[in-house]
Amino acid sequence: MPEHSKHIEEKDLELYLKAQLSDESIAAFEAHLGGCKECVNRLAEQDKCLWYLAELSAGDSAGDGDKRRYPRVVTDEAAALQVINPFSVDSWDVRIVNVSKGGLRTYTPNNLLPGSLLKIKMRYSVACGDVRYCVRADNGFYAGVRLHDYFVR
């Protein structure tokens, strides 16, 4: 259990991003992250490192004339969204309205700042990524998220 005087270990930051910690550990980590900018920055760096590793193994773009790197698939899946950087312990319900290999689009009740790092928990997986855009929609917002990491739970 991390204390404010003791920083979170790198392997535990990765497990936090992958949602592979116990509820008790998550609560302790979030309490620590709420007051430790250094660990929040290290968490963002851990996500970036995992993203670079995933990019090394990614294939070429679709090449079908679409400017998007990967084709989109329409969906309507429930998820919970948490902003990781700037860090917040709060999470809220969102809907995933389309997905691709490289990103997803959410419908959210809250405005998200472009560049914010997110963790999105779905039924069988967890994704981390950054907000590319956020535009007003009926009673909420559509936010485009570029995926960095995707983990099956």
The verdict on 77 and 104 lying in the same domain is: yes
Which one, of 15, 4, 11, 12, lies nearest residue 38 by Cα?
4
* Mean pLDDT calculated for residue range 99-115: 92
Is 62 within the bounds of a domain? Answer: no
Which pLDDT belongs to residue 60? 47
pTM of the entire predicted model: 0.71
The verdict on 105 and 136 lying in the same domain is: yes
- Tally of structural domains, the chain: 2
The verdict on 88 and 148 lying in the same domain is: yes
pLDDT tens digits along 24-40: 888 888 899 889 999 88
Is 134 within the bounds of a domain? Answer: yes
Average pLDDT, the chain: 84
Which pLDDT belongs to residue 69? 67
The verdict on 132 and 77 lying in the same domain is: yes
Give, as one character, the DSSP assignment of residue 19: T
SS3 call for 43: helix
The verdict on 96 and 51 lying in the same domain is: no
The verdict on 35 and 94 lying in the same domain is: no
Work out the number of other CB atoms within 10 angstroms of the CB of residue 9: 12
Which pLDDT belongs to residue 19? 83
Confidence of residue 57 (pLDDT cuts 50, 70, 90): low
Is there a contact between 141 and 108 (Cβ–Cβ < 8 Å)? yes
pLDDT tens digits along 59-95: 544 444 445 567 888 899 999 999 998 899 999 999 9
Segments forming the whole domain that contains residue 90: 73-152
Is 129 within the bounds of a domain? Answer: yes
Is 108 within the bounds of a domain? Answer: yes
Cite the DSSP H helix spans in the chain. 10-17, 23-33, 37-56
The verdict on 133 and 100 lying in the same domain is: yes
Task: Say if residue 86 is preceded by a cis peptide, omega within 30 of 0.
Answer: yes
